[in-house]
Amino acid sequence: MTGPIDHPDASLIPTRGQVVRQRLDAATRAVVFFVVALAIIVGLWQAAIVSFDIKPFVVPTPVSVLVALNQDWPKLGAALGYTLRGTLLGLLMSTCLALVFATLFTLSDGVARAVMPLLIAIRTAPVLAIAPLLILIFGRGQAISIAVVVIVSFFPILVNATRGFRSTDANALELMHVCGATWLQTFFKVRLPFALPAIFTGLRAAATSGLLSAMLAEWLSGAPGLGTLILEAASFRKLPLMWAGVVLAMTVAFAIFALTVRMERSVVK
């Protein structure tokens, strides 16, 4: 005879309300952590100015930067929107291209050996050195920002995605083969889930540099983004506005990084 069947305790299963409260608590903790960290940074900033008697024409006070954020927000918001649009489009394109090439490299070592040296050469070429060529090809608009973001962020995603696809558990692949699964079924049900942590590792590394890459492209091309705004503010000695742009860029970069972490926690179980 079979033994008694153990039934799961329903009280241990979280309800929808409990799940929502847990997520709200996590979001609240994240906001509180960000506010506390920001307060510490602002306090150290002000303390350094007072302690070393730094003049306002060298480093502005946090209050003056906040005033600049408030007064020049229409200009800052428009520039940030332009930069953020190029950053996100570039990250999306680089992720798609990296996954395609990583899949090809997983299918054929010959393709990897033939194409990888070319990709390494493109990645290692200084953006400043090839900037004139990029401007000739893509012009001085949004396209060059997207191109620079793709060039900078493509390689880390590619390397991590390839490593993730090739590190798939051999027993899982053998099971899919025994079950008669097609290559696409094996890819989406086994290889891709196994590779997700590695892919998100590359995406986190690319996301932190994506915004900086877009700003660099704007410095080179003069496009109306956050990079150009910071450069022009520095040229005209509008230091509070320049620091406001820097603080805004740092905040958005942190937000993009946090978003990728949140996406990884939601997708990778």
Q: Are residues 114 and 35 in the same domain?
A: no
Mean pLDDT score, 194-199: 91
Residues in the chain: 269
Domains held by the chain: number: 2
Q: Are residues 194 and 248 in the same domain?
A: yes
Percent of the chain whose predicted confidence (pLDDT) is above 90: 35
DSSP H/E element including 7: none
Split at pLDDT 50, 70, 90, the class of 10 is low
Q: Are 220 and 135 in contact (CB under 8 A)?
A: yes
| 7, part of any domain | no
> 8, 25, 54: which is the final residue of a domain?
54
Q: Are 145 and 218 in contact (CB under 8 A)?
A: yes
| 162, part of any domain | yes
Q: Is residue 17 pLDDT above 80, yes or no? A: no
Q: Are residues 77 and 159 in the same domain?
A: yes
| 3, part of any domain | no
Q: Are residues 32 and 102 in the same domain?
A: no
Q: Are residues 23 and 60 in the same domain?
A: no
Print the domain residue range for 35: 17-54
> 5, 25, 54: which is the final residue of a domain?
54
Q: Are residues 199 and 232 in the same domain?
A: yes
| 24, part of any domain | yes
Q: Are residues 195 and 82 in the same domain?
A: yes
Q: Are residues 27 and 99 in the same domain?
A: no
Mean pLDDT score, 57-85: 91
Q: Are residues 37 and 157 in the same domain?
A: no
| 2, part of any domain | no
Instruction: Compute the mean pLDDT over every residue in the chain, rounded to the nearest whole number.
Output: 86
Q: Are 128 and 152 in contact (CB under 8 A)?
A: no
Q: In 10 A of CB 162, how many CB atoms? A: 24
| 126, part of any domain | yes
Which of 107, 198, 194, 98 is closest to 149 using CA atoms? 98
Q: Give the pLDDT confidence of 134-183 residue by residue, as tens digits.
A: 888 888 888 999 999 999 999 999 999 999 998 888 888 888 888 888 88
CA distances from 18 to 7, 34, 268 (A): 22, 24, 21
Q: Is residue 91 pLDDT above 90, yes or no? A: yes
Q: Are residues 37 and 100 in the same domain?
A: no
Q: Are residues 105 and 193 in the same domain?
A: yes
Which of 138, 122, 126, 130 is closest to 86 using CA atoms? 138
Q: Is residue 7 pLDDT above 60, yes or no? A: no
Mean pLDDT score, 43-70: 88
| 5, part of any domain | no
> 54, 70, 103: which is the final residue of a domain?
54
Q: Are residues 66 and 49 in the same domain?
A: no
| 237, part of any domain | yes
Task: Measure CA 151 to chain center.
Answer: 14
CATH (domain of 72): 1.10.3720.10
